[in-house]
Structure 1
């Protein structure tokens, strides 16, 4: 299946509908921080973060 012509919006909507996916939406100008091991990301929204454990 070739997914390169499928929009990002459609891909995200499909992933979010699945059981092993958690969506976190950060509003415009809302600050967030993600730490993974020694790497830390500090930024501000808007952003959608998908946590996928499947």
Structure 2
């Protein structure tokens, strides 16, 4: 679900989807500890390089 929200944030450029993805990653941290942070650099790179600059 976090990956889906990061992809939606990249497509729409809305901050609320990015915050939702971060919140879901935090929830995943509470459940599975550090395993959830493995895809995090890739998701942030997707958002950084995928969004259109104004």
Q: By the TM > 0.5 criterion, same fold?
A: no
Q: Of the two, which has the highest radius of gyration?
A: 1
Query: Which structure is higher in strand share?
Result: 1
Greater RCO between the two (CA within 8 Å, min separation 6)?
2
Normalised by the size of structure 1, how large is the TM-score?
0.26
